[in-house]
Amino acid sequence: MRLTLRTLLAYLDDILPPNETRELGAKIAQTPRAAELAERIRDVIRKRRLTAPGVHDESALDPNQVAEYLDNTLMPEEVAEIEQICLDSDLQLAEVAACHQVLGLVLGQPIDVPDTIRERAYRIGMREDSHIGMERLESDSHVINKKSTKAVASKQSDHEVPTKPAETSGPHVTAEQVQSTQMWKRILPYSLLGALAVGWLALIYFDPSIVPGIEKEKDLKQTGVKTPEPSSPTGAETAGEETIASADDAEPEVTTELVASVDTTTPATAEPVSEPATTPAEPVELASVTPTEKQLPASVPSEPETPLTVPETPPIPPSLPTPAPTSEPTEEPKPVTPEPTAAEKPVEPPPTETATVQFHYLPGTGLVLHHDEENADWLRTPDDAVLKVPHAVAVPVPFSAEFEVMKSPFRMKIEGGSDLLIEKPNPAGEIALQLIRGQMLLTAKDFKAGESTPKVAMNVRGRWWRLEPLTPETELAVEVRPLSPRGRESVQNRPSTDTTWFLVRGNLRIIDDSDAIRVLAPGEGLSWETEVATAAPTPVTIAPEWIMASAPTEAVQQRARPFADSFPLDQPIGLSLSPSLSDRRYFISEWTAHALGLTGTLEPLVSVLQNSPHNETITAAAEELRVNLVLDPEADKRVQEAISTVFPSHDAELVMQLLWGVSDDDARDLSKSLALIAALDHEQSSIRQLAFDHIVRLTGRQMNYRPTFSATQRVASLRRWQDYVEKQGGLLPAVE
């Protein structure tokens, strides 16, 4: 297969067959100019400052010629002209490459025509004028048939339009389709109403709790007690006593609970018939928690034995006088009952879950990882899962996820590349959150102004802040940015992150650990960007850019689908995700590096520095290793051990220095600057990439250098870098 610009675009967009992909990949690896062109295509597509080519520019390409070129139907001499224009102009190259990428995405997915458009097209063909045209056509054909064959042929060629029969014959077929469609549309509402009615009747039949009378009658039939007459309160009470007695014969522990409840709730005077039936309802519901209650109907004998008589009034000690009957219920005395054994003690009802904060992961909102404490690894969170505190969750790039805090008005949207720690409630709030890094939107919904809401505690640099929304729909944007190291000394005695809060809408009261109160209005925020951990935050009024970012495009979503398949539910992330680092699609390899760094899986990232085919992946792996060196005190030892097993001993120390970064003082030192320039000529491409990233950050220059250049191509660029450093005494000029 020939190596041309068009085939190179097809290779980058992953639309070639596997055998041609392997063949072309080998040719690109053997041709430095092709590798440089592939890297250039990736760069120009991602450039944000490139504009669209003008329609009337002299150098503009004809859209029809570009379409024929991409479809491989252009003449060879015109192909060479278009490719030369693309190679000479980044603007034209980006336009052609982007068009090829879009066409590859569109043509690779079948087009689905909605049913509404089909029906509309059918109805347009059924207009009345079409029937009139049909009648005229039939009359004309009747006249024509009376003439000779030659006359018929000439008349058809002169007067009849061949498309007319096709236009008028079509509605006969489509009308039936439309009629059948209208028929099931008319039947559908009645079918749904019938199904709802059947379901409602079935629910009443199988769930007697909906109608209390049915439940009472069924219980009395199961215990063998006749239904009492409505006019006899005494009989109703006796029936209730017999029911309790029969239950007592079957299950002692249930009887103990029921008898105690009857003793404490039965009034001294006679009540209406409905009261005894509703009085024991609550204890029965509590007893249903025990596993023995489900076997109660099977163990009750058909003829109850000697029943236990329940007194109509609570038992009163002999030393106390009997109180006179009143309309008010008597005070609850302590019944004199023997101490039950351990087996007879009633089961305590389970504790209520109001004090337990639970986070519901809303399905269909993205992809979430959670840390499994039992296996000490990260797993993918199933859709519609409920997480209890404490829990650590992470959302990899390019996904996002939404959570709702159950039994509270709060919702969270966590952006990609975020790591969140959900902690136990503390005095600062019932909902305790610590955003390790990333972005998050916290919204308070569905509560009335002035209504008490759960307090949210947010940890910033080791201090807890209480957040209290004052109005509904209050939305707070939270961003935590890890600092990139600038040498080992740069992370000592200084915060590892910068934090920004910005109130998008609503009003929010903020209380710190010293009980100082602040109230934020929309468009206001706080920022912790100082090098002193205990410094007070400074006000901000500029909204972060990520809040106003648009939703992911269809192209990004389509790219993310195969990446999501790399996260199975039953495998740890370290095992399932590591093979994707060597994926030939650079964006999947880059996303994999970010996901592994987000979960603290550092060993595979060190291996990427040794043998990754993509510069984007090397940069992403180095960035994640630097972030973990800042956030995790144990990461330094882990990374050093991994580097010593992957790189030779003479390169391991250099790689570790490049990961820790270069400080401004080192950049002003001539000898250290020249040593960094010398790393641009290292035989390992990953080391050249790491050194070049630091140089570009410090100087903002490139000197026409690329880490993918061959040794001969790097000579001129290295000479320019050396002259630049020697001229000003370092990568950065000396401070006067």
Query: Mean pLDDT of all residues in the chain?
Result: 74
| Cα gap 592→582, rounded to integer Å | 9
Question: Is 711 inside a domain boundary?
Answer: yes
Q: Of 327, 323, 192, 214, whose CA–CA distance to 277 is shortest?
A: 214
DSSP-derived 3-state class of residue 87: helix
Alpha helices (runs of H) in 312-372, residue ranges in sequence order: none
In the structure, what pLDDT confidence band is assigned to residue 552 with cuts at 50, 70 and 90?
confident
Domain termination site, one of 548, 579, 606: 548
Q: Which of 250, 284, 299 is the last residue of a domain?
A: 299
Instruction: Tell me if 307 is assigned to some domain.
Output: no
Q: How many CB atoms lie within 10 A of CB 339?
A: 6
Task: Name which residue leads in pLDDT, 575 or 107.
Answer: 575
Confidence label for 529 from pLDDT (cuts 50, 70 and 90): confident
pLDDT at residue 251, rounded to an integer: 42
Exposure letters 684-712 (e unless 16+ CB within 10 A, then b): bbbbbbbbbbbbeebbeeebebbbbbeee
Over pLDDT 70: what percentage of the chain?
Answer: 68
Q: Which residue has the higher pLDDT, 321 or 377?
A: 377
- Helices 635-646 and 603-611 pack at an angle, to 10 degrees, of 40
Lowest mean pLDDT among 61-65, 129-133, 629-633: 129-133
493 and 460 Cβ atoms separated by less than 8 Å: no
> Range with the lowest mean pLDDT among 107-111, 181-185, 249-253, 620-624?
249-253
pTM over 0.95: no
> Do 705 and 561 fall within a single domain?
yes
Where does the pLDDT of residue 547 fall: very low under 50, low under 70, confident under 90, or very high at 90 and above? confident
> Are residues 517 and 594 part of one domain?
no
Same domain, 511 and 373: yes
Predicted confidence (pLDDT) at residue 345 exceeds the cutoff of 60: no
Confidence of residue 637 (pLDDT cuts 50, 70, 90): very high
> How many degrees, rounded to 5, is the angle at CA 378 between CA 372 and CA 576?
135
Asked if the structure places residue 312 within a domain, the reply is: no
Amino acid 605: pLDDT: 92
Looking at the fold, whether 390 and 451 belong to one and the same domain comes out as yes
pLDDT given at position 159: 39
Supply the DSSP string of 107-142, one letter for each residue: HTS-----HHHHHHHHHHTT-HHHHHHHHHHHHHHH
Indicate whether 698 and 623 sit together in one domain: yes
Among 107, 137, 156, the domain boundary falls at 107
Residues 687 and 571 both lie in one domain: yes
> Is 475 part of a structural domain of the chain?
yes
- Per-residue DSSP letter, 494: S
Q: Which helix (H) or strand (E) holds 466?
A: strand 463-469
The residue range of the domain holding 92 is: 5-107
Residue with the two structure tokens 């009989």? 235
Report how far apart, in Å, the C-alpha atoms of 453 and of each of 449, 458, 510, 712 are.
10, 16, 14, 68
Are the C-beta atoms of 717 and 709 separated by less than 8 Å? yes
142 vs 543, residue with greater confidence = 543
Report the pLDDT value the prediction gives residue 109, as an integer from 0 to 100. 65
56 occurs within a structural domain:
yes
Give a yes or no: residue 378 inside a domain: yes
Lowest-confidence pick of 102-111, 235-244, 517-526: 235-244
Q: Does 136 score more than 80 pLDDT?
A: no
Quick check: is 369 in a domain? yes
Q: Predicted confidence band at 308 (pLDDT cuts at 50, 70, 90)?
A: very low
* Residue 294 predicted with pLDDT over 60: no
Residues 608 and 698 in one domain: yes
* pLDDT score recorded for residue 626: 93
Query: If you write DSSP's letter for every residue of 168-195 in order, what string do you get?
Result: HHHHHHHHHHHHHHHHHHHHHHHHHHHH
Q: What is the pLDDT of residue 73?
A: 84
**140, part of any domain:** no
For residue 154, what are its two tokens? 């000439």
Summarised one tens digit per residue, pLDDT across range 158-203 is 434 344 444 444 444 444 554 555 566 678 788 888 888 888 787 7
Note whether 669 and 589 are same-domain residues: yes
Mean pLDDT over residues 45-70, rounded?
A: 76
**Averaged pLDDT, 354-380:** 82
Domain count, the chain: 4
Q: Are residues 393 and 461 in the same domain?
A: yes
Query: Phi then psi for 94, rounded to 5 degrees?
Result: -65, -40
Per-residue pLDDT reduced to its tens digit, 707-724: 888 888 889 889 999 999
Amino acid identity for residue 94 in this structure: A
- Residue 538: CATH number of its domain: 2.60.120.1440
Domain match, 507 and 588 both: no
User: What angle, 0 to 180 degrees and rounded to 10, lies between the N-to-C axes of helices 685-699 and 649-660?
Assistant: 30
Nearest-angstrom CA–CA distance, 608 and 46? 23
Across the range 345-351, mean pLDDT stands at 43
Task: Looking at the structure, tell me whether residues 395 and 284 fall in a common domain.
Answer: no
Q: Are residues 542 and 627 in the same domain?
A: no
